[in-house]
Chains A and B, each alone.
Chain A
Amino acid sequence: MQRNTDIELRLLIEAIYLKYSYDFRDYSGASIKRRVNHALRQFDCNTISALQERILHDPSAFMQLLQFLTIPVSEMFRDPEHFLAIRQEVVPILKTYPSLKIWIAGCSTGEEVYSMAILLREEGLLDRTIIYATDINPRSLEKAKQGIFSLENIRAYTHNYQKAGGQRSFADYYTAAYDYAIFDKSLRENVTFADHSLATDSVFSETNLISCRNVLIYFNKDLQNRAFGLFHESLCHRGFLMLGSKETLDFSDYSKQFTPVLKQERIYRKL
């Protein structure tokens, strides 16, 4: 016999899918359950059914719930060793390409996008690159487009930038205004921000490099396989795939279709 909360959780996720077309049905069970329980307290709802009623009848409440379900946390140059590895091992190969298309899937509030753009600019590649930055959370995408981040975090980001092999002064890339750092908008000149779900949408372009970091851990195995399938289809021959530091292709259906370039840093190439 199923427990009430498990039944209610399933119904909530089904309701979200039917009403708003966001598909959380194949997300990791433990995480989604915790997220919903967390939201219950914030929404002051006693049961998941009560929350379901709220979000079915009130789209703005759903938008609020989406903020809990999507875990919109990021950092600039998160895992600096990863970005250092890109600079040292991947960039020399990218430099041999006449033009570049990069897909950052699950870009959240944009920190990863600006990090990548800064790296590419320093390596002289940004001008011939198109970046697609996608996510399912419209609020996060909006923030990403603005490129305004809290000054509070800039110290940590500066440290990350330096550890990632940054060549200039990090302050060259933003202007400080009150409590915010406003990033140089030329960094996003070639960036297209777009709503795209790895759970429901299909491939939109051929790409040379895909970075999808700290997104797949929230998916179950089936949904991970779907996402890897999209990446495989989108990448050109020998295209690069980059994952978060604890994510791996090893347990997926696609482990044989990619080869690790730097296993520790989760950098792979399509075979």
Chain B
Amino acid sequence: MTDRDSQMAGLRPVKAVVIGASAGGVEALLTIFAGLKPGYRLPIIVVLHLPDERRSQLAEVFARRVALPVREAQDKQPIVPGTLYFAAPGYHVSVEHDLSLSLSQEEPVHYSRPAIDYLFESAADVYQQRLAAILLTGANQDGARGLSQVKQSGGLTIIQDPDEAQVATMPRAALELFQPDCILPLSGIGRLLVELEHIECY
């Protein structure tokens, strides 16, 4: 990413990255994580909608293809820098003020549990402006509200370019609600993740 790009994105140091994705999400996530090197230092927490509520292999699938340690989110698990967390199927996941994760079986949001809104809103509360939130492809309205909350708390908001997204409903729903800091293709989001770590170091 060039200097001009990062100025455009209004980049500032963050302490964590949260990501929401639905239909088409697995491929999109693999693409944006492809450029991450071992030793990457930001924690990344992901809600990916899956059709099935039961046990998932997400963490295993990603562990084989991503350079960071990958975990399925557990209740009260401390958020460790440089770890990639996936929400467990059937449970909402939130960030707590002591920087741990909590799970919940409250009612689904937009028919989804885990819900992106649930994660984003709680993370916005805790990290405030020290948060980057990314909304990717999906056939659902989930995440739009949460992302706008991140924006209101001063965090950095990124939406996948709907023209490029496999399913544009989710990015479009968010764009209808507010103007994010950047609208980027997957390649740009991948570079942004790397860039966010660099500015975090200095």
| Residues of chain A at the chain B interface (Cβ within 8 Å) | 28-31, 33-35, 71, 73, 214, 216-218, 220-221, 224, 246-248, 250-252
Residues of B within 8 A of A (CB): 74-78, 88, 91, 94-98, 100, 102-106, 118, 121-122, 125
Which residues of chain B are near A73, meaning CB under 8 Å?
105
Of residues A35, A218, A221, A246, which shows the largest number of chain B Cβ atoms within 10 Å of its Cβ?
A246
List, in ascending order, chain B residues with CB within 8 A of A214's CB.
105
**Distance between A214 CB and nearest chain B CB, rounded to angstroms:** 6
CB neighbours (8 Å) of B122 from chain A are 29-30
- By Cβ-Cβ distance, the 8 closest A-B pairs, closest first, are A30-B94, A30-B122, A28-B102, A251-B76, A31-B104, A217-B103, A217-B75, A246-B103
Contact B100 A221 (CB under 8 A): yes
Contact of A35 among B76, B91, B103, B106 (CB under 8 A): B106
Alpha-carbon gap, A30 to B78, bound state (A): 15
B102 to A31, Cβ gap below 8 A? Answer: yes
Name 14 interchain pairs, CB-CB below 8 A, sorted by A.
A28-B96, A28-B102, A29-B125, A30-B104, A30-B125, A31-B106, A34-B106, A73-B105, A220-B102, A221-B100, A246-B74, A246-B88, A246-B91, A251-B74
Which residues from A are CB-within-8-Å of B105?
71, 73, 214, 217
Assuming A31-B102, A35-B106, is B96 touching A216 (CB within 8 A)?
A: no
Q: How many Å lie between the Cα of A71 and that of B107 in the bound state? A: 9
- Shortest CB-to-CB span from A12 to chain B, Å, is 16
Closest-by-CB residue of A relative to B89 is: A246
Whether the Cβ atoms of A224 and B76 lie closer than 8 Å is: yes
How many angstroms from the CA of A168 to the CA of B102 in the assembled complex? 38
Q: Are A251 and B121 in contact, with the CB atoms below 8 A? A: no
Note all chain A residues with C-beta closer than 8 A to B78: 251
Q: A30-B94, A217-B105, A251-B76 given. 6 additional CB < 8 A pairs?
A: A30-B125, A34-B106, A34-B121, A217-B103, A221-B98, A251-B77
Measured CA separation A254–B76 after assembly (Å): 14
- List B contacts of A33 (CB < 8 A): 125
